[in-house]
């Protein structure tokens, strides 16, 4: 199929497809015309029968009743059998299967329309013998029967079926060709949807000329974006190193300050600056994180965070299984959980980490008893650099990137992070992860 149509423009391929379908339609129409000519041959059978019946009726009626059987035998040919009888044929006066043939006989010989012409199929099927009778003027009957099978003339359904076959074939062939012509666009759409989430290989540069130019432009754009991300990663690494070096010197020099209050204030400012740099680098470097998923016991990770918080004097509980292994980016996901735990401990007095699974999904809930967040800000607070004055205290260290970093890390695992207020107070952060246990 790929070599059937040359690699021309999209318009050229559409024209080629239309041309091919027209050729197929012409061929099929020719076959149907030839089949229609066969139907005309069947019409000739009715005409010949009509002519033969008219001749036989006139010849038999002119004979005395005693000589009519002999005359009827002389009128028998290799195509039609004729005999005379006073009794009518044992056929219904109306034979629905042969209404069309009877109408054709009467059309060819209108004089037969005034007679009680009765016909039927003696062997109903695709090819059958026709028999019947024609009433003469004196009330006797001229019986006849075809000696050669004749094809039935009821071809309505067959003609409809034959007309549908090329239409269906053309739709299938045209659809396959258009599908092949638009395949590069589908690959391009898949690659464009993955940009920013997963590493994307260059899209094969084939297809119609217009589509191929779009694919080439997309590959170049993707290469530029990848170069920008790599440059940003290198710049962030350099900035992180350059900023941490003077901060380390400032911390060492603060140790020489004699006034304890001033020394503590400087140390607090240095710690806040380090936290800001760490959160900023974690958020801006998230897209280029080279960490690969590895088997992680999520239950142990949650229990470890609870133990660390308890060792620091906080009221923290863990509810869940002892072991639950998933493939995760260990450092990124632990950073997300740590940010949620720190956020909950900063604004609440009691914290619970609940882990559960139903086989199809894994759910991690971080529940605190703090003041919560205004309902209209539950989504906005997950955005970077958002800090809420009324709901939370402003003595938070950092740029307000903790929840944004957590949401970014969860998204990298194919999951979602949602926030909801509890009654009467408190906040519940819920992480939903695909349940691909190992």
State the burial class of residue 21 (Cβ atoms within 10 Å of its Cβ: 0-12, 13-18, 19+): middle
pLDDT in tens, 242-258: 777 787 778 788 888 87
Q: Is 80 exceeded by the pLDDT of residue 345?
A: yes
The pLDDT of residue 355: 93
Can you tell me the mean pLDDT for 224-238?
A: 74
- Give the Cα separation of 348 and 212 in Å (integer): 57
Which has more confidence, 129 or 397? Answer: 129
Q: What is the pLDDT of residues 171-184, one digit of tens each?
A: 677 767 777 777 88
CATH of domain 294-434: 3.30.565.10
Using CA atoms of 156, 159, 164, 169 in order, give the dihedral in degrees to the nearest 10: 160
Model pLDDT for residues 139-192, shown as the tens digit of each residue: 888 888 888 766 544 444 555 566 567 767 776 777 677 777 778 877 887 877
Q: Could you tell me the pTM of the whole model? A: 0.47
Question: Which residues pair with residue 356 across a beta bridge?
Answer: 363
Nearest CA to 403 out of 374, 381, 370 is that of 381
Domain with CATH 3.30.565.10 in the chain: 294-434
**CATH 1.10.287 segments of the chain:** 206-288
- Measured distance CA(278)–CA(179) in Å, rounded: 49
Calpha distance 392→317 (Å, rounded): 23
Q: What is the CATH number of domain 206-288?
A: 1.10.287
pLDDT of residue 113 exceeding 70, the answer is yes
Closest C-alpha to 366, from 297, 431, 279: 431
Confidence of residue 1 (pLDDT cuts 50, 70, 90): very low
Strands, E, within 197-345: which ranges? 294-297, 315-319, 325-328
Average pLDDT, the chain: 76
Q: 377 or 43, which is more confident?
A: 377
pLDDT grade for 47, boundaries at 50, 70 and 90: confident
Structure tokens, 432: 């939903």
Residue by residue, what is the 3-state secondary structure of 252-307? HHHCCCCCHHHHHHHHHHHHHHHHHHHHHHHHHCCCCCCCCCEEEEHHHHHHHHHH
Q: What is the mean pLDDT of residues 297-324?
A: 92
> For tokens 């091919």, what's the residue?
20
If you average pLDDT over residues 259-266, what whole number do you get? 82
What does the pLDDT read at residue 298? Answer: 92
Measured between its terminal Cα atoms, the distance across the chain in Å is 42
| Overall average pLDDT of the 93-104 stretch | 62
């Amino acid at each position: 199929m790929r070599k059937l149509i040359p690699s021309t423009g999209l318009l050229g391929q559409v024209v080629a497809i239309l041309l091919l379908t027209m050729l197929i339609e012409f061929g099929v129409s020719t076959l149907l015309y030839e089949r229609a000519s066969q139907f005309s041959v069947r019409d000739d059978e009715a005409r010949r029968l009509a002519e033969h019946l008219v001749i036989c009726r006139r010849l038999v009626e002119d004979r005395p009743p005693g000589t009519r059987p002999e005359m009827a035998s002389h009128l028998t040919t290799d195509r039609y059998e004729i005999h005379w009888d006073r009794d009518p044929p044992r056929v219904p006066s109306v034979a629905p299967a042969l209404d069309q043939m009877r109408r054709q006989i009467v059309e060819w010989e209108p004089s037969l329309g005034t007679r009680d012409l009765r016909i039927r199929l003696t062997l109903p099927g695709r090819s059958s013998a026709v028999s019947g009778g024609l009433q003469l003027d004196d009330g006797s009957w001229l019986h006849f029967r075809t000696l050669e099978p004749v094809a039935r003339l009821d071809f309505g359904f067959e003609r409809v079926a034959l007309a549908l076959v090329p239409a269906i074939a053309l739709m299938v062939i045209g659809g396959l060709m258009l599908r092949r012509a638009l395949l590069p666009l589908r690959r391009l759409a898949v690659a464009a949807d993955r940009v920013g989430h997963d590493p994307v290989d260059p899209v094969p540069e084939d297809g119609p000329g217009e589509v191929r130019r779009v694919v080439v432009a997309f590959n170049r754009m993707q290469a530029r974006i990848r170069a920008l991300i790599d440059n940003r990663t290198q710049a962030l690494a350099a900035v992180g190193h350059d900023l941490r070096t003077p901060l380390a010197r400032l911390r060492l020099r603060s140790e020489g300050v004699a006034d304890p209050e001033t020394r503590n204030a400087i140390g607090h400012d240095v710690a806040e600056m380090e936290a800001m740099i760490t959160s900023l680098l974690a958020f801006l470097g998230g897209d280029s994180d080279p960490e690969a998923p590895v088997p992680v016991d999520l239950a142990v990770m949650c229990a470890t965070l609870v133990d660390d918080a308890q060792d620091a004097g906080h009221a923290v509980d863990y509810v869940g299984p002892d072991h639950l292994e998933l493939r995760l980016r260990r450092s990124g996901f632990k950073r997300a959980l740590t940010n949620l735990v720190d956020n909950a401990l900063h604004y609440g007095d009691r914290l619970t980490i609940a882990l559960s699974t139903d086989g199809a999904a894994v759910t991690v809930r971080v529940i605190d008893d703090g003041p919560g967040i205004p309902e209209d800000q539950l989504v906005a607070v997950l955005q970077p650099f958002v800090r809420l004055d009324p709901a939370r205290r402003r003595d938070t260290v950092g740029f307000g990137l903790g929840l944004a970093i957590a949401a970014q890390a969860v998204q990298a695992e194919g999951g979602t992070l949602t926030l909801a207020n509890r009654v009467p107070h408190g906040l519940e952060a819920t992480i939903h992860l695909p349940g691909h246990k190992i």
